[in-house]
Amino acid sequence: MTTYSAPKPAGTPTWIDLATPDLDAARAFYKAVFGWDYNIGGPEFGGYTTALLGQRNAAGIGGNTSSDGTVFPTAWSVYFASHDIEADVARAVELGAQPMFPAMAVGEFGHMAGLIDPGGAMFYFWQAGQHIGAEVIDEPGSATWFELFASNAKQSRDFYAALLGATVEPMPGEMEYYVLKHGDAMLGGIGQIDPSWGDFKPQWIVYFAVADADEAVAAIVKNGGKALSGVDDTPYGRMAAVADPSGAYFKILQLPTR
């Protein structure tokens, strides 16, 4: 488990948040599943909610309809740390991304920008102000891994490696999968969507650490979510794919005992 008190290095996953049609229902669900407490923003921030784990910022929950009426997919999103958000957005566009909205200030908390990568997956940049991003990772109830499944994994690999200044490590095995790294630090993974998955859209997926994967899946189902897979043993821990009551997809991972 890791606690942060300063902004993360540029290009590192730094924040996650959920866009949802029902803030109250989402807050109740994730509190029951992960034990989160909340700081709820005022009307000027649309009730945007910061989830707390032991008084540390862990994630955000916001509505999925913007002030201009744009409806965003019900989904978890990944934000990458930026130290110069205007330059990073320009670089992303140069590499083939499309801006969803330009960099903008979020009060005194920082600046954000939303983009769609060349394969159609949404991602965001966050340049820290008062809000540094997630203050806890790799602890039950917090994010532990970030994974893009793409329709063209090689294209996405090259895009994010160039954008984030990352090196790439192919994973052995039958599945096409790459790990993005800064030195020895792993940023996230990129995998190839299998045609057998049907209409699965390119997207970044958040993995949440849990103390017990079977108990977590039971709590998810009990509180209105869905188990989209069984709980599987993997070299990285016990894992399951799930969705919250509004359909937002995520995975849970019981980390191996060290």
pLDDT score, position 68: 81
Amino acid present at 48? Y
Residues of the chain with CATH 3.10.180.10: 9-136, 137-254
Q: Residue 8's closest CA among 94, 61, 78?
A: 78
Strand partners, 188: 180
For 197, the 3-state DSSP assignment is: helix
Sign of the CA dihedral running 68, 73, 75, 76 = negative
Quick one: pLDDT at residue 1?
Answer: 57
Give dist(CA 96, CA 118) in Å, integer: 5
User: How is residue 132 written in tokens?
Assistant: 């540094």
Residue 69, pLDDT score: 81
Angstrom distance (rounded) from CA 136 to CA 142: 7
Of 119, 145, 141, nearest to 207 by C-alpha is 145
- Distance separating the N- and C-terminal Cα atoms of the chain: 11
Q: Which residues pair with 256 in a beta bridge?
A: none
How many residues comprise the chain? 258
Please list the pLDDT of the chain residue by residue as tens digits (258 residues): 588 889 999 999 999 999 999 999 999 999 999 999 999 998 888 899 999 999 999 999 999 988 788 888 999 999 999 999 999 999 999 999 999 999 999 999 999 999 999 999 999 999 999 999 999 999 999 999 999 999 999 999 999 999 999 999 999 988 899 999 999 999 999 999 998 989 999 999 999 999 999 999 999 999 999 999 999 999 999 999 999 999 999 999 998 875
Torsion, CA 69, CA 73, CA 78, CA 84, rounded to 10? -30
Phi, psi for 227 (deg, rounded to 5): -90, 120
Class (C level, CATH) for 137-254: alpha beta
What is the pTM for the complete model shown? 0.96
Write the burial class of residue 174 (CB in 10 Å: 0-12 exposed, 13-18 middle, 19+ buried).
exposed
223 φ, ψ to 5°? -100, 20
CATH topology assigned to domain 9-136:
2,3-Dihydroxybiphenyl 1,2-Dioxygenase; domain 1 (3.10.180)
Distance CA 48, CA 36 (A): 15
* Distance, CA of 146 to CA of 168 (rounded, Å): 15
At 258 the pLDDT is 59
